[in-house]
Structure 1
Amino acid sequence: MNKKDIIEALTSVLSTKTEAKNATEKIFSAMQSALRSGEKVIISGFGSWSIKLIRAKKMINPKTKKIMLIDPKKKVKFKPAKNLLV
């Protein structure tokens, strides 16, 4: 299921496809803002999203055999709700 499919599903509940698209955009925008500010996003019965910090690490370049430093980065982590898993 992708964003377009979600909009189509919401169209059956809302009046127009435009309303469904706007609602979907607002939901995703709110989730993105919350994650960027370090908040955890929880949808009860579905799961939660959070930011995980991947620390810096050293790796060996396979071609040059030299040690490289990989910068730290942030990743979005999703944890499904227990009842979501079948």
Structure 2
Amino acid sequence: MNKGDLINEVARLVSTKKQAQEIVDCVFSTVTDTLKKNEAVQIAGFGSFKTTKREARIGRNPQTGAEIKIEARMVPKFVPAKALKDAVK
């Protein structure tokens, strides 16, 4: 399922496809904005989104074999809830 498929599913529950797209975009932008502030998003029964710090490290260019420095950065992480894990079994 991609974003378009998700919008179509939401459109079946609301009045228009345009309104469904606004709802989906609002949810995604709210999660993104919250993660940018280094805050977690917890959705009961689904899971939680949070950010973790990835430390700086030395990588290797696969074509040349040269070492390169990879900067430290914050990355998003999703941890599924037990209910979601059980539903997927």
* 2:10 paired residue number: 10
Gaps of 5+ in 2: none
Matched, 1:41 2:41: yes
* 1:24 paired residue number: 24
| TM-score normalised over the length of structure 2 | 0.84
Percent identity at matched positions? Answer: 33
Question: How many residue pairs are counted as aligned between the two chains?
Answer: 84
- Could you report, residue by residue, the CA deviation over 1:10-67 in whole angstroms, capped at 9, with x for unpaired residues? 1111000000001111111111100001110111100111111101123456624xx5
CA distance, structure 1, for counterparts of residue 13 and residue 44 of structure 2: 21
CA distance, structure 1, for counterparts of residue 14 and residue 22 of structure 2: 11
Gaps of 5+ in 1: none
| TM-score normalised over the length of structure 1 | 0.86
**Change in 2 beyond 3 A, CA 1:21/1:70:** same
**Change in 2 beyond 3 A, CA 1:11/1:69:** same
CA distance, structure 1, for counterparts of residue 70 and residue 18 of structure 2: 43
CA distance, structure 2, for counterparts of residue 60 and residue 22 of structure 1: 42
